[in-house]
Amino acid sequence: MDTARVHTDTVKRMRSAAVALMQSLDEGQRQQVSMPFDGPVRTDWHYIPRDRPGLPLKQMDAIQQQLARMLLSTGLSATGQQTASTIMELETVLAQIEGGGRRFPRDPELYYLSLFGDVGGEQPWGWRFEGHHISINHTVIEGCRLAPAPLFFGSNPAHVRHGEREGLRALAAEEDVARDLLSQLDGEQKQVAIVSTEAPPDILTTNVVTVTDELPVEGLLGKDMSAGQLQMLESLIHVYVSRLPEGVAEIEMARVRTSDLSKARFAWAGSTDRGAGHYYRVHGDCFVAEYDNTQTDANHIHAVWRDLHDDFGQQLLREHYRASH
């Protein structure tokens, strides 16, 4: 695959969508959505309910919302878009569960768009779409290089058990494919893969800007799996990567394979029973896919894709600035 062409085409769509949105905004909205590329806000990401910088969907008219969703569609696959929409819809379900005395506002329009740098210029720029349980971050370098991480999806409830959406599982594959892999391991393999009988209360990497030493080196190595198990491990990684635009996802999977999956580790913590608190991660040389389902009586998923070298375009930016000076 021609990586440069795929990234260039994707960036062109992103730029076109971002410019169209900017042109639709009034001056106050433009000031609200626009932020310096080199400022601290760009890497200040999170997946919890909190006050956020940027322009929320709630403060856009119908046409502006449509343009914002067009930009979002350039940064996700069709499947990723559907998952993001479902996660946002769960805010309505959560509002019904929590009732009038709830601590946080639950609103599918409280998702914020932020544009970093000059989206129509030649310098590095980026954008983020973020709210409760969604954080999508894209960094663009030289108009043809793209860093599409971190990418976070969460789900509360993970499994809707009552009401009109009963049975809905927004992140079903994230759990089911991991359980399939775990079930294929023999007794000795499980002893290595299951690193603790107690799951942590959240993903260990939380919202750090750069993943460093948050993750212990533990779990079952790919080289100690059978060919079929290794293929299932790759399928689990693909669940996370397939959130990205199709061509970009193919490039990411090629990068993952190049990194040598025999050195990747699959670690599980907590119960192996459905409905009980559990956690897992796949930790490779250049990536980590991390998942936790312990909160809210183990019906609350956090699942993130991290690029260990290039979250927020850190590696691409170093190369860019080095070449520019």
CA R_g for the chain: 20
Q: pLDDT digits over 226-247, tens only? A: 999 999 999 999 999 999 999 9
Closest CA to 147 of 176, 116, 171: 116
Q: Give the Cα separation of 118 and 15 in Å (integer).
A: 10
Nearest CA to 12 out of 150, 148, 117, 146 is that of 146
Instruction: Break the chain into its structural domains and give their ranges.
Output: 3-149, 172-309
At 214, give phi and psi (nearest 5°): -70, -25
- Higher confidence at residue 320 or residue 66? 66
Q: What is the pLDDT of residues 246-286, one digit of tens each?
A: 999 999 999 999 999 999 999 999 999 999 999 999 999 99
Global confidence as pTM:
0.97
